Structure 1
Amino acid sequence: MKKITLVKSMVFALSLSLFSPMISAKADAVQVPKIYAKSAVVVDMDTMEVILDLNSEDKMYPASTTKLMTAILLAENKSKEDVLTYTKSAKKQPAYSLNASVKPIDVGSTMTSNDVMKALLLYSANDSAYIIADNVATDSDIFIEMMNEKAKEFGMKSTNFVTANGLHDENHYSTALDIAILGKKSYDNSWVRETLSIKKDSIELPNKDKFLVENRNKFLGQKGNIGGKTGYTSEAGKCFVSIYERDGRRLVSVVLKSIFDSEDLAIFNDTEKIIDASYSAKKTTLISKGDIIETLPIQYKSFGIFGPSKTIDVPLTLKEDIEYYENPINTQSIKKDINTVGLNPWKLNKNLSAAKLTLKEPLVSKKYALYPKVSTSDLIKANLLLYIGTLISIIIITVLVLFFKSKLKRNTNKKIYF
């Protein structure tokens, strides 16, 4: 049997807000604990679900969390043993650099990539970012372009890089949500992940002196903290992106524009609070099993491929609960698409999927099978009078044809005998 034409087209795609009477909450929304940070987010690294949200799409300054992107590009373009040359643009970088804060370094001298990576991520040396930029690209401007291209590739939709180290610029910005993506991508890179997990190590400077670098992540190794990158400028405030793993479950957290307290612990305490809250967070039932997602009017021919065109309303439902983390960003942005490609009214079966539901959250899409609450037998019932009437008409016509055929035959036989 040929496929039946659907209303308007074979694809019935809907993009609608899910917040309607069919939602039945069974858990509280995920609450953000009291923190100093102005923006924060926690994302499940395996599912990319946003668990906790505090202004995570607000434009913020990322400070030295920027260096994670610089580290990724170094890891993708160089090996640990490669030799990098100290450049003029590196020499120009201000305090918190190897040249300005440790020992003067001559332009043209060299360091290994691995030592530069540790200087970048552990000591957060501002000049190390430009050693990388000038050695990976032909100059730092091209490297910045590479950073922005990589950001787009990662799906960082609200980020614009202007510097390789995150020093303040009005046009150098990101969001907590984008930095969470960057944190996840950083952890996916083995070299970057390995470096972020180091508590302290020594690097060899160009003059062969050894310099001890310590990780600025003060909570590394505590309560599941397995890596992270700090950042600070007066405009950005204290920033921190961190990876946690507890009972095999990995979360990435970001806090931006926190305070710089006397012990420099506020940013880490902020992080621990939102991480604890996220590990204990429960999902809310967004749509319950058996709820009607949508009722679609589907057009069909009453006799399969011919006959009068009719329309049947097909309620589509789920055979499972759909759950999500209730928080501001999910509540505002979650959308649904229903795809009915290939739906054939004459093959409807309550136990067979008739359509696909796609739920789009900020960082992930999930697919679910939708089942019709009507079957082919319902179409037959709806057209029963038509079928009976058609059958009676066929019988009457057949009887009349046979009658006239018989009469004609008798008349013919009479003529022969005369």
Structure 2
Amino acid sequence: MKRTAISFLLASLLIVANVGQVKAADSGMPKIQGKAGITMDIETGEIIYNNNIDEKEYPASTTKLMTALLFAENKSKSDEIKYTESAKKQPEYSLDKNLHKMDIGESMSASDTMDALLLFSANDVAYMIGDNVSGNTQKFVDLMNDRAKKLGLKNTNFVSPNGLHDPNHYTTSYDLSVIAREAFKNDWVRETMAKKNSKITTSKGAILLLENRNKLVGVDGCVGGKTGYTEPAGRALVAFYERDGRKLVGVVMKSVYDSQDSAVFDDMKKIIDWSYNEKQVQLHKNGDTVKTETLTYKPFRFFGPEKKIEVPFVLHEDISYYNNDINKKELKEEYNIDKINVWNLSSDKSAGTINIKEREANRSFKVYSTISTKDIVKQNLALYIGLGLAVIIVILGVLGLILKIKNTRRRSSRTYY
């Protein structure tokens, strides 16, 4: 009896597991080893792939995208950047990602400093940047957090410019994608991330050869990115792609650091390939009525009985979106209809817009009235004709009266003579 019960329990568990697998398959999204991930259209901000995108994770060295952005916004490529004491004092466990061949006070160009930060992912260089931009690291961290707030990010907090582990240093894959998208807009940051290698020179003549730690750069349209790893964070990766003129950014967090260091890169390839192939679904089609307004008017513009008319507003194009859980839950439609005078209505001229909002994405589409001023005239034609006839009758009556008066005067004049 016990064996039967156990067998039944195991069978039930297998059924539940299979149902879970079917649901995952039905979603169509690829499974990755990373705990969280996202892909986003760089141009529009639309979310395509999403997996735990609001879960807080440790960003590790992907933090340096924010450091690079602030560096580019506050320094020029030709500026000399000095090596600082705080840069030298990085913990021993991070030595493999420190330049450390430099002496305090030694310098290199800002261009070379950016290469060391983004290609080699030098932890000491991140502090070197913070000190040179803000005077000290803490002020620079404050600048990082202020920038995150300006981007509207609510689940990000920075403690250092390099991302070495701290329980209070965290972000989400969504927040990181927004930071990455902003960094990609900066020409200097974007050009640096695209390099496969670099040769940098210090003020004392030391020459360092750097290789980009992002294995995907230059492969299948990958035009840049940033890697990251600490034991608590796991493997993290941000990657930018351009295929057929379309740009995407992908983020994978809390992935596996396997013996070949391939898992996070495989994860990224999966979600990027899937995202480029994913098709949007139709939200509204060309000709759909998306809003109706009730307008009041007077048939003779400034006088006459007040009348009401229902004015439908339609699209002259399709509107589509990526049908994922985030967008289905959060998508909002906002209408901005111009102040309308029925006597200016035109079916060929836009009467306002419909805005489709999906977090970062805010797309605007024009809407058009299906009713024109000519239609208003047609609807009131009987009234106009009636008024016209009334006016004619009045005029004829007045003319008749005038003629009658004239005739009366003529008769009176003849009688007098």
Establish whether TM, by shorter chain, passes 0.5: yes
Matched, 1:343 2:347: no
Match for 1:177: what amino acid?
A: Y
Matches of 2:184 and 2:367, distance apart in 1: 36
The 1:286/1:122 distance shift into structure 2, 3 A limit, reads: same
The match for 1:74 is 71
Helix, strand or coil: the match of 1:123? Answer: coil
2:156 to 155, 159, 164: 159
Q: Among residues 236, 257, 276, which one is paired with 2:254 in the alignment? A: 257
Match of 1:215 in 2: 212
Residue number in structure 2 paired with 1:52: 49
The residue type paired with residue 44 of structure 1 is: D
Kindly provide the amino acid, as one letter, of the partner of residue 278 in structure 2.
Answer: A
Summarize deviations over 1:211-234 as a string: whole Å, max 9, x none.
544322122232222221111234
Alignment-mate amino acid for residue 308 of structure 1:
P
- The answer to whether the Cα contact below 8 Å between 1:94 and 1:126 also exists between their aligned partners in 2 is no
* CA distance, structure 2, for counterparts of residue 55 and residue 317 of structure 1: 36
AA matched with 1:330: N
1:315 aligns with 2:315: no
Q: Which has the higher contact order (CA 8 A, sep 6+)?
A: 1
Q: Is residue 186 of structure 1 aligned with residue 183 of structure 2?
A: yes
- The 5 A counterparts of 1:24-39 are 31-39=28-36
Match of 2:193 in 1: 196
Distance 1:246 1:118, change over 3 A: same
Please give the per-residue CA displacement for 1:270-314, whole angstroms capped at 9, x wherever unaligned. 100001001112222221111111111111111122222211101
Query: In 1, are the aligned partners of 2:46 and 2:361 still within 8 Å (CA)?
Result: yes
Distance 1:110 1:352 in 2: 60
Mapped contact 2:293–2:311 kept (Cα < 8 A): yes
> Is the 1:99–1:127 contact (alpha carbons within 8 Å) kept by the matching residues of 2?
no
Distance 1:315 1:244 in 2: 41
Q: State the partner residue of 2:113.
A: 116
Q: Secondary structure at the match of 1:128?
A: helix
Q: Is 1:239 the equivalent of 2:236?
A: yes
Distance 2:369 2:75 in 1: 55
1:3 is matched with: none
- Residue identity opposite 2:247 in structure 1: R
Structure 1 vs Structure 2 CA RMSD: 3.2
Aligned length: 390
d(CA) in 1 for partners of 2:369, 2:73 = 49
Q: Among residues 271, 275, 279, which one is paired with 1:278 in the alignment?
A: 275
Structure 2 spans left out of the alignment, 5+ residues: 1-25
Partners of 1:105 and 1:179 lie apart in 2 by 31
CA distance in 2 between counterparts of 1:96 and 1:116 reads 22
Match of 1:6 in 2: none
C-alpha distance in 1 between matches for 2:54 and 2:35: 11
Which one has a larger percent helix, Structure 1 or Structure 2?
A: 2
- Shift, 1:389, TM fit: 4.1
Secondary structure at the counterpart of residue 307 of structure 2: strand
The equivalent residue for 2:224 is 227
Unaligned runs of 5+ in 1: 1-28
Structure 1 distance, partners of 2:96, 2:206, is 13
Q: What's the TM-score once normalised by structure 1's chain length?
A: 0.81
CA contact (8 A) 1:30 1:51 kept: no
2:80 touches 2:108 (CA, 8 Å); kept in 1? yes
Supply the distance in 2 between the matched residues of 1:346 and 1:353 (Cα, whole angstroms).
15
Give the equivalent residue in structure 2 for 1:141. 138
Deviations for 1:234-283, whole angstroms, at most 9, x for unmatched residues? 44332110112233432211112223333322111110000100111222
Secondary structure in structure 1 of the residue aligned to 2:254: strand
Q: Give the aligned residue type for 2:302.
A: I
307 and 235 in structure 1: CA distance in 2 versus 1, 3 angstrom threshold = farther
Task: Give 3-state SS (helix, strand or coil) of 1:217's partner.
Answer: coil
- State which drifts further: 169-178 or 159-168: 169-178
Q: Distance in 1 between matches of 2:88 and 2:100?
A: 11
Q: Which amino acid is 1:351 matched to?
A: D
1:381 Cα deviation from its structure 2 partner: 3.5
Whether the 8 Å contact between 2:296 and 2:306 is mirrored in structure 1 is yes
SS in 2 for 1:359: strand
**Match of 1:268?**
265
> Is 1:304 aligned to 2:301, yes or no?
yes
Cα 1:349/1:111, change in 2 over 3 Å: closer
Identity of aligned residues (%): 46
CA contact (8 A) 2:88 2:100 kept: no
Q: In the TM superposition, what is the alpha-carbon distance from 1:200 to its structure 2 partner?
A: 3.8
Q: Within 1, Cα distance between the matches of 2:46 and 2:152?
A: 15
Q: Partners of 1:111 and 1:99 in 2: how far apart? A: 20
| Secondary structure, counterpart of 1:354 in structure 2 | strand
What secondary structure, in the 3-state scheme, does the structure 2 residue paired with 1:243 have? strand
